[in-house]
């Protein structure tokens, strides 16, 4: 199934590149806007890496101006930090006054559809979806749209992703390794020793006891973000899942919970417990979230963290301001057991779902906004269009839009072409986005070689961040490329949308799983994991497993 999906994604990537270069026929205005102004309520959340173009804000920016030109008028009802986004949205929904356009994960999608929070858009999609939008959501052969179909109805549209972009790899301060004469760890024992050295042996050479080894997000613990433990558990062939609802094949056709194997879990948790006790994991990890990890890594307090391919970008951008010699590299996850079980989990191809409130007077606005987003982000007509809506050195343009419909597999394509261009200097194969990335990375590389790094230079700073993903021979995507070539992935046995039962029991099981993991790391007996497994089954896990097994049997 994964190979078929890969072929479909690659075909779409090529098609999107061709269409983007050639341009597409202008569709009827009806697909992109309204004859008379239509106001929609919007709630925004901003990540740590977001910044506005000078003179712009949430009510006045390039995307808002685009929407207004099509008679779609955003009314911003709240703005929060991304770490507070879910709480704010839940509170707004409970109050009955919530945004018209909502981004959510698959679990919330089922819940909100069943409780009437979001609207049925089945007929609206058929009427208003542009050909470009249909191509975009169909990039995986219709798998994502089928997964979002509940009782024959569609309540949202997928933000198509690239499963590789979500796979955690290990990031590390290469300059610290070099300072201590250490090599990149490839086993857990080597990782433990490097983490100890980063904690005790003054890797930054400042004579202070102010560094530690492994950064851990003790708040979310398993979410696909920076510093969470998903990647660490994968070293041992364990896949509990960010929602405690990951289902794997046991090798004999039986579907099991990805965190089922208590023996592997205890081995992983014993390692984490030892690292916590010797200071390789800071005592403060319990209260650290993703923003804290960004800060810790950027300030040079920690030297190792697990994250998706983008996990070195913000830390590098920050680190170069105080430490020009900072060098952040990446590698595939180490082997935790010595048996080669350290396969990386390969997720389904959509990550978020865009929906419209059931209270919205013009629910077709969701389709029209998606049409606009795909047109501008997947098929930019010229360089000005690209810089305006995708972004430039000064700001991240697409993140100020309501929908992030970036071309699937574009990052893998970017890595292959941009890294090659940096090696050869031949930029003839680069598209607009790739040329922009190349120019910035070249500015960073040239300045570093010349000893003229300037962290305040927008091109250099952007280039430093991008280099950790696309340019460094040992960067985030280079690690993924190694996994791709070695087929170092494992896919779940269940790839559908969460069922009603899964959505019902997931919050309880997730909370139980996270609490147990944190308690064990901080000193509770690793045998407590046996109780977690038993409770997982007793508190609804068995019912969810039965549904996952039924799906797997029918999709063989």
Q: Are 475 and 469 in contact (CB under 8 A)?
A: yes
Where do we find the tokens 């219709």?
142
Written out in words, the top-level CATH class of the domain with range 167-348+492-556 is alpha beta
Instruction: Identify whether the C-beta of residue 516 lies closer than 8 Å to the C-beta of residue 233.
Output: no
In Å, how far are 221, 225, 259, 266 from 518, measured between CA atoms? Answer: 8, 17, 15, 13
What pLDDT shows up at residue 16? 36
**Tally of helices (H runs) and strands (E runs) in the chain:** 22, 15
CA distances for 87 relative to 45, 116, 124, 331, angstroms: 11, 19, 30, 34
SS (H, E, C) 182-194: CCCCCEHHHHHHH
pLDDT at residue 497 in the model: 79
- Domain map (residue ranges) of the chain: 2-162+350-400, 167-348+492-556, 409-472
In the block, residue with structure tokens 């069943």: 114
- The β-bridge relationship of strands 212-214 and 302-307 is parallel
DSSP 33: -
Rounded to the nearest 10 degrees, how much is the dihedral formed by the CA atoms of 13, 490, 158, 78?
-120
Three-state DSSP at 139 gives coil
- The candidate with the shortest Cα–Cα distance to 109, out of 152, 157, 142, 146, is 157
Per the DSSP assignment, residues forming a β-bridge with 159 are: 352
Q: Which helix (H) or strand (E) holds 362?
A: none
Place of tokens 């290469």: 174
Measure the CA–CA gap between 187 and 333, rounded to whole angstroms. 8
User: What's the pLDDT at 339?
Assistant: 83
**Helix 290-298 vs helix 313-322: angle between axes, to the nearest 10 degrees?**
40
CB 490 within 8 A of CB 345: yes
* CA 70 – CA 73 distance, rounded (Å): 9
Whole-number pLDDT of residue 50: 80
pLDDT of amino acid 153: 95
- Closest alpha carbon to 180 in 167, 193, 166: 193
Q: How many CA atoms lie within 13 A of 210 on its CB side?
A: 10
136's enclosing H/E stretch is helix 131-137
- How many Cβ atoms sit within 10 Å of the Cβ of residue 223? 18
pLDDT of residue 414: 95
Residues of the chain with pLDDT under 50: 1-27, 393
Fold held by 2-162+350-400: D-Maltodextrin-Binding Protein; domain 2 (3.40.190)
Contacts of 276 (CB under 8 A, 6+ apart): 283, 285, 521, 522, 523
- pLDDT at position 28 is 55
């Amino acid at each position: 199934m994964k190979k078929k999906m890969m072929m479909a994604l690659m075909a779409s990537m090529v098609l999107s590149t061709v269409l983007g270069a050639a341009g597409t026929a202008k569709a009827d205005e009806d697909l992109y806007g309204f004859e008379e102004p239509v106001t929609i309520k919007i709630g925004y959340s901003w990540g740590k890496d977001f910044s506005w173009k000078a003179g712009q804000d949430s009510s006045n920016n390039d995307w808002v101006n685009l929407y207004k030109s099509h008679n779609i008028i955003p009314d911003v009802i709240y703005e929060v930090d991304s770490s507070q986004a879910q709480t704010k949205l839940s509170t707004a929904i409970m109050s009955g006054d919530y945004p018209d356009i909502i981004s959510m994960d698959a679990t919330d999608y089922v819940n909100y559809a069943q409780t009437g929070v979001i609207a049925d858009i089945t007929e609206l999609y058929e009427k208003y979806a542009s050909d470009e939008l249909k191509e975009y959501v169909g990039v995986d052969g219709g798998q994502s749209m089928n997964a979002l179909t509940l009782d024959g109805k569609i309540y949202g549209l997928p933000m198509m992703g690239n499963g590789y972009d979500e796979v955690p790899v290990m990031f590390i301060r290469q300059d610290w390794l070099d300072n201590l004469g250490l090599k990149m760890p490839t086993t857990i024992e080597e990782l433990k020793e490097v983490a100890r050295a980063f904690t005790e042996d003054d890797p930054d050479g400042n004579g202070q006891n102010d560094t530690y080894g492994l950064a851990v997000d003790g708040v979310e613990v398993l979410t696909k973000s920076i510093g969470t433990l998903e990647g660490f558990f994968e070293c041992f062939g364990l896949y509990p899942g960010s929602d405690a609802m990951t289902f794997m094949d046991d090798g004999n056709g039986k579907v099991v919970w990805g965190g089922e194997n208590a023996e592997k879990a205890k081995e992983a948790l014993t390692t984490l417990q030892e690292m916590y006790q010797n200071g390789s994991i800071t005592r403060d990890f319990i209260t650290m979230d993703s923003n804290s990890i960004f800060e810790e890594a950027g300030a040079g307090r920690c030297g190792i963290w697990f994250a998706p391919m983008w996990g070195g970008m913000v830390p590098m951008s920050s680190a170069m301001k105080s430490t020009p010699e900072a060098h952040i590299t990446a590698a595939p996850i180490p082997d935790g057991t010595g048996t080669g079980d350290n396969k990386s989990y390969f997720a389904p191809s959509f990550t978020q779902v865009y929906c419209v409130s059931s209270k919205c007077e013009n629910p077709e606005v969701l389709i029209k906004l998606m049409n606009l987003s795909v047109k501008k982000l997947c098929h930019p007509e010229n360089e000005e269009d690209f810089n305006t809506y995708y972004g430039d050195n000064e700001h991240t343009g697409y993140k100020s839009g309501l929908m992030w419909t970036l071309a699937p597999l574009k990052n893998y394509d970017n890595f292959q072409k941009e890294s090659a261009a940096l090696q050869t200097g031949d930029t003839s194969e680069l598209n607009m986005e790739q040329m922009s990335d190349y120019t910035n990375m070249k500015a960073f590389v040239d300045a570093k070689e010349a000893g003229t790094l300037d962290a305040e230079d927008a091109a250099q700073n952007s280039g430093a961040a991008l280099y950790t993903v696309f340019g460094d021979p040992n960067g985030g995507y280079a690690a993924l490329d190694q996994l791709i070539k070695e087929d170092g992935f494992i896919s779940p046995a269940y790839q559908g949308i969460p069922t009603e039962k899964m959505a019902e029991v997931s919050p309880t099981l997730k909370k139980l799983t996270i609490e147990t993991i944190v308690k064990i790391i901080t000193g509770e007996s690793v045998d407590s994991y046996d109780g977690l497994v038993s409770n997982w089954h007793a508190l609804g896990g068995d019912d969810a497993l039965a549904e996952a097994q039924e799906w797997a049997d029918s999709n063989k």
